[in-house]
Amino acid sequence: MQPKHWISIALAILSIGGGFAFVKLDLHLHFFPTINKTSSPSGSTDDNLPGGMIRIPPGNQSGGGTSGTWSGYEPPPRPIAPPPPPPLKENFENYSEAKEFAEQGNAVAQHYLAVCYTRGTDDVSKDYSEAVKWYRKSADQGFVKAQFNLGICYENGFGVAKDIREAFKWYSAAEKGGHDRAREAIERCENQLPRAMTTLKLPKPVEVPPIPTGRHVKVSTVDQLLDAVVYDAQDGDVIVLAQGTYTLNETLKIDQSLALYGDPEKPQNVKITNSNYNNPAAIATTESGASITLIGLDISSKEGNGIDVANNSSADVSFCNIHDCNILRGGGISSPYHKQNIKIVVEHCVISDNHHGIDTDGELVVNNCLVRGNNGFGIAGASPIHASALADVTGCIITQNGRGVSMSGGNMTDCEITHNSDGVHISAGNVTNCEISQNRGDGIYAGIIIGSMKSGNIKVSDCTITDNSGSGVNANSVPSEFRNNILRNNQGGNWKITASLGGPYVTRIGNKPNE
């Protein structure tokens, strides 16, 4: 064997807080002693040993036995432990003193410099960019005050581009370090953070809403849901549904103000389905001034309405997928005929493959919804008896339905009404900036809707009415104004005007073509 001659030297530079640098020298000598052959005790010789040296086996020690010292060898002295490091310097007289230590890596000094640049001193002018640099150096070393102040910089855009996510990160780090103001800052950021986008195929993508305020009641089974909604509910409760399928044998009847919150990002994860053919609906209000808020649910009902809104009650439905509700009278969202004091708001929903999509006799607001593939009406905001029915429909795609829209009041704006059997039936109200095209019947039928007592004062403006199989506009016996519309390639003619009952009833201004 070759002799083992080595010196192992471990050199560690310890920097604590950047204040001082210490050198710790751990010296360990490991070798077999070597002596001249002529004076050594007998032993085996290795001609390969350099300098004519021999290895002394352990049994050949002076004094015999296995104890004693090597002949001709003095053991090395034991290494001396380094002195303990001095305490980290935390107090500084001025900028110059702090800078010296900051450049050596002292986190406290780095934070001191950052504060100087944040406030401005006799030594330095205010400079937020330089402050951020030193806050970051200190924060990276875990100095809690620097982490919190760096969060402030990111939250407000001081010396750095405003970034709420980055602010949230540093506030969270400061909270873990025990900063007493970090929790308030975290909550402030949470209210500003962009939320996830819903996966519903809406006309415009939308961020999902938070859980509403109120007493939160968490449920994960059908029995828990029934108890929370029907039997144990308190006014203002928010029922938070876990992911899963809730198959109902009875209608969820709501007689007070309640909210049901599922998964607005992925409503298909929280299914409420009515499996009982005798149930009139999956979810229904009673005639007691009830108010329901439904968020992030997938609702279906084979032989009933999805949501049934009774007299003197209201429903606010958002981020829901309402489908396969096939009752002949009603559909996805419905209210009874001949009723009043009903208000329905539907936003950011997909309403598809029902008998009717939305069919109401009351006040209706529909915003940013996809209404598709319903056998009857896509949206019916018409009142056969009462003149108070209003529909306010904005930013919707209404396609592949039996009839796109039927309305006897209100406004429809910025909508696409395409590929329906008929486009728009209107007896009163305004249609503005809509695309009405490729419907299999008329683009717009402006006239009396059977049974409706409210008609007249129709205004259609700035719309594109093209490529319908029937007429572009079929105006019949109702006072109507058409202004600045584009009509083109309608197979039944761009205009079909019928004057009766002492007309004329139709005014046309600035349309292309106008006649």
What is the per-residue pLDDT across 70-118, written as a single tens digit (0 to 9) for each? 445 566 666 666 665 445 566 777 888 888 888 999 999 999 999 999 9
Mean pLDDT of 454-475: 89
Predicted local confidence at residue 383, as pLDDT? 47
- Evaluate if residue 148 carries a pLDDT over 80: yes
CB 115 within 8 A of CB 94: no
Predicted local confidence at residue 299, as pLDDT? 97
The tens digit of pLDDT for each residue in 396-415 reads 999 999 999 998 888 999 99
User: Poorest-confidence range of 184-198, 235-249, 282-296, 448-462?
Assistant: 448-462
Which structural domains are found in the chain, ordered by start? Answer: 1-88 (no CATH), 95-190 (1.25.40.10), 376-515 (no CATH)
Where is 460: in which H helix or E strand?
strand 458-461
Pick the residue with more confidence: 384 or 320?
320
| Amino acid identity for residue 380 in this structure | A
Predicted local confidence at residue 23, as pLDDT? 35
Predicted local confidence at residue 335, as pLDDT? 84
Predicted local confidence at residue 341, as pLDDT? 83
Average confidence score pLDDT of the chain: 81
Q: How far apart are CA 408 and CA 431, in angstroms?
A: 11
Quick one: pLDDT band at residue 8, thresholds 50, 70, 90? Answer: very low
The tens digit of pLDDT for each residue in 215-232 reads 999 999 999 999 999 889
User: Poorest-confidence range of 108-122, 156-170, 487-501?
Assistant: 487-501
- pTM across the whole model: 0.66
CA angle 381–279–375, rounded 5-degree value:
40
Rounded (10°) angle between helices 164-176 and 182-190: 150
Query: Mapping DSSP to helix (H, G, I), strand (E, B) and coil, where does residue 405 land?
Result: strand
Q: How far apart are CA 439 and CA 356, in angstroms?
A: 17
Where is 446: in which H helix or E strand?
strand 444-447
Predicted local confidence at residue 427, as pLDDT? 87
User: Poorest-confidence range of 82-91, 202-211, 355-364, 501-510?
Assistant: 82-91
Quick one: pLDDT band at residue 195, thresholds 50, 70, 90? Answer: confident
Predicted local confidence at residue 456, as pLDDT? 64
Predicted local confidence at residue 44, as pLDDT? 35
**Residue of 241, 236, 244, 216 lying closest to 226 (CA atoms):** 241
Q: How far apart are CA 165 and CA 468, in angstroms?
A: 49
**Residue of 405, 414, 418 lying closest to 434 (CA atoms):** 414
Predicted local confidence at residue 247, as pLDDT? 94
Predicted local confidence at residue 66, as pLDDT? 42
Residue 361 is encoded by which pair of tokens?
């006799």
- Chain Cα centroid distance, residue 439: 36
- Evaluate if residue 160 carries a pLDDT over 80: yes
Which residues make Cβ contacts (< 8 Å) with residue 432, sequence separation at least 6? 411, 412, 413, 414, 459, 460, 461, 462, 463
- Evaluate if residue 178 carries a pLDDT over 90: yes
**Residue of 54, 55, 7 lying closest to 28 (CA atoms):** 7
Q: How far apart are CA 348 and CA 353, in angstroms?
A: 17
- Evaluate if residue 328 carries a pLDDT over 70: no
Predicted local confidence at residue 31, as pLDDT? 36
Pick the residue with more confidence: 91 or 132?
132
- Evaluate if residue 288 carries a pLDDT over 60: yes
CB 493 within 8 A of CB 448: no
Q: How far apart are CA 350 and CA 370, in angstroms?
A: 5
